[in-house]
Every structure is written in structure tokens, then in C-alpha cells.
Structure 1
Amino acid sequence: MREAVARYLEQGSVIVATTARADDAIEPVHRDVAGINVLSDGEFVWSEDLAYYVRRYGARVPDKLLSRARAGAPPRLSPEATTAVAKRFAPPPPLP
């Protein structure tokens, strides 16, 4: 099941893109293990490196996300849906 969940996580729609990469937070000797884009399936939002932790360490995800992963690939979000997710989860802009 780990692999199916990791694949689901990797296939989410990109909400925030970056070229930054993460080192393994549990075993720092493993460097540059995953990207850190922010992804979503329209309901859940996660950092791209979560797939790495699921695969390598068996990191758990919420049961509802696990059920969605069992059902197949996440839906591709339209540009409008991507913007709506970003607005829901992004911090508000700083005050002037």
C-alpha cells in the first residue's frame, strides 16, 4: 500500500512550485531526497516530499486520504480549482 499512496501523492496537482529540494529530516545523511512543491487533490494539501517519507519510512496519512489513494490517481485540478485551493490554504498577504 505504501507504493500506491506514494504514487498518489506524487500525482497531485501543483499548487505552489519551487525548485528547492529537501534533505531527509529523519536521516540527514540522505541529501536532496525530494522536491518540496505543494500539491493537492482538491481536498488535501501536502508537501511533495511526503511521498518520500511514505515510501521510505511508512509515514501515515489520514484515513480519508488513504481511501482516495486506494481508488486511483488524484483528479487533475483545473486552473480555477488550483487557484481556489491555493486561496484556502495560503496565508493572507501582509498588511500594507
Structure 2
Amino acid sequence: MSGGSASGKEPTVGGERHALSAGSRLDESMSDKQRGVLEDLLELARGSGWDPADVLLWMFAPSTYFVDESRPVDHFDTDPDLVLDVARRAWGVEW
């Protein structure tokens, strides 16, 4: 997956006043690798029908999809592909 959107605009969360994007304050301290994972997650969220705000909550919540029940954000640097795989599996569940 590549970052950005089909429209060429950065993915955002919230309205104009409180917009959060891959280039916003949220990721000022993020590495390029972490920023890329965030952009890919937001792209995946659109395709999965997830609200971007829910993605942010998901990133910081412990997950049983990880062996140690850690948070997705804890794996951004060490295994970004695993984070994306977990997101695909978690967001694609239908009951």
C-alpha cells in the first residue's frame, strides 16, 4: 500500500478545525517509517469502512492479535507489515 489518497490529498481525521493528517501534529515526532504505516492504515481504513478516528483509538489499544497483547503502535518500527496484517484481519471480521 502506498500513502496518500486517490484524490492526492493527505488523509485526515476530523473537520477542518481539528484535522489530523499524516502531516499534522500527531506525527511531527514520527519517523518516515512510522508515518508510512499511519498513511497505509488510514488508506486501509477507508477501504474497510472504518472511521479514521477509530483507527487512532485502535492504534493505542492493546490487541490480542499480538502474542504479547501489545498495542499496534508498539510495532510501527519493528514490524510495520505485521501491523497492517493485523489491521486487515481485525477490520475485516464479520459477525
- Does the TM-score normalized on the shorter chain lie above 0.5? no
RCO higher in structure (CA 8 A, sep ≥6): 1
Larger radius of gyration, structure 1 or 2? Answer: 1
Structure with a larger share of its residues in strand: 1
TM score, norm. by length of structure 1: 0.29
Structure with a larger share of its residues in helix: 2
